[in-house]
Amino acid sequence: ALARVALVGRPNVGKSTLFNRLVRKKLAIVDDSAGTTRDWREAEADLAGLRFLAIDTAGLEDARGDVMEARMRQGTERALAEADVALFVIDAREGVTPTDRYFADVMRKQSTPVILVVNKVEGRATMSGLGEAYALGLGDPVPLSAVHGDGFADLYEALVPYV
Ligand code: GDP
Ligand code: MG
């Protein structure tokens, strides 16, 4: 069976854009408004010959007091439980947010291996924001631009041990 790779992270960091690039189909809903993808979608991915099942989840949100967000978090936790590895995606343009930190804690406390992906890294300005990502304690971040298709060789290297 193909390894299951779950894409997790708060809304708008680019999970669905990354998913679409990995599966080369427009199966996931990509939208500027936060939290558009409420379910998860899965499709076979091919990353330079590395084949796996990519799972696009809704964004992780701090559930406090919000039923919709609580459901999104539950969906993510379910996807994680069934995944062989998770890509925890953050946004280099916005930097590490309190929500990212909250969910980095969640990620560290569960047993599925986590690869930290810093998306929207385009040019030097966003590159400088990478330092904060190291401080999340999830290992070396993989800088990526899902839109431009940069950084996928490093993503390949990071995924090889798990798929
Ligand atoms: P999701 O909510 O995490 O699934 O995020 P989406 O994939 O829906 O993307 C949210 C927004 O970020 C969209 O406007 C995307 O076009 C944009 N986006 C995604 N990846 C990148 C990237 O690598 N660079 C830039 N500049 N924008 C991106
Ligand atoms: Mg999405």
Domains annotated on the chain, with CATH: 8-159 (3.40.50.300)
pTM, entire model: 0.88
* Pocket lining: 143 vs ligand 1, CB cutoff 6 Å: no
- Answer yes or no: is the C-beta of 151 below 6 A from any ligand 1 atom: no
Q: Whose CA is nearest to atom 17 of ligand 1?
A: 14
Binding-site residues from annotation? 9-16, 56-60, 119-122
Residue 151's CB is within 10 A of a number of other CB atoms, namely: 17
Predicted confidence at residue 124, as pLDDT, reads 72
- For ligand 2, the distance from its centroid to the CA atom of residue 37, given in whole angstroms, is 4
The predicted pLDDT at position 37 comes to 47
Among 7, 8, 10, 12, which is best to mutate for testing ligand 1, by the most ligand atoms less than 8 A from CB? 12
Asked if 129 and 92 count as a contact pair (C-beta separation under 8 A), the reply is yes
Cα within 13 Å of Cα(30), Cβ side: 14
Q: How many C-beta atoms lie closer than 10 Å to residue 105's C-beta? A: 11
The pLDDT value given to residue 99: 81
Report the candidate in 85, 102, 67, 103 with the shortest Cα–Cα distance to residue 142. Answer: 85
Q: Which segments of the chain have a pLDDT < 70? A: 25-40, 58-73, 125, 127-129
State the pLDDT at residue 28: 52
User: Is the ipTM above a cut-off of 0.90?
Assistant: yes
Point out the ligand nearest to the CA of residue 41.
2
pLDDT for 98 equals 85
Note the pLDDT tens digit of each residue in 56-75.
886 555 444 455 556 666 77
Q: For 147, what's the count of Cα atoms within 13 Å in the CB-facing half-sphere?
A: 9
- How far is residue 44 CA from its own chain's centroid? 16
